[in-house]
């Protein structure tokens, strides 16, 4: 890094140190517990899976409500019956609720 930038990195560090920013770029003050918490990671993953389940649930619900066959096969001549659309609506509502619960859980974990 010193070869690529020369002494520019050291000059930037000196200027920031003189300005009183109080930033420590070298992490000298980390204790034994630094970076050991897994709760922020779990909160992020809950929010990510919550958003994913919300989007999938909404797409499944709209396709079941409009009776759109998402997995269209031109050689398959039979149409899905009303019971399968009703089951798809229930499954999509469950996905939406689980996504919302995971989003709320992510705020608790963070």
> What does the alpha-carbon distance between residue 67 and residue 79 come to, in Å, rounded to a whole number?
10
CA distances from residue 12 to 4, 21, 28, 67, 105 in whole angstroms, order as listed: 15, 12, 18, 61, 41
Residue 64, pLDDT score: 87
What CA–CA distance (Å, rounded) separates 25 from 18?
14
Average pLDDT, the chain: 76
Rounded average pLDDT over 53-70? 87
């Amino acid at each position: 890094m010193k070869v690529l930038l020369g002494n520019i990195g050291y000059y930037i560090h000196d200027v920031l140190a003189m300005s009183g920013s109080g930033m420590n770029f070298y992490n000298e003050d980390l204790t034994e517990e630094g970076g050991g918490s897994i709760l922020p990671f779990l909160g992020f993953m809950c929010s990510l899976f919550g958003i994913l389940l919300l989007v999938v649930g909404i797409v499944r619900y709209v396709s079941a409500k409009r009776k759109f066959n998402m997995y269209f096969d031109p050689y398959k001549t039979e149409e899905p019956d009303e019971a399968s659309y009703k089951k798809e609506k229930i499954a999509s509502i469950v996905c939406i609720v689980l996504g919302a619960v995971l989003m709320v859980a992510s705020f608790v974990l963070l």
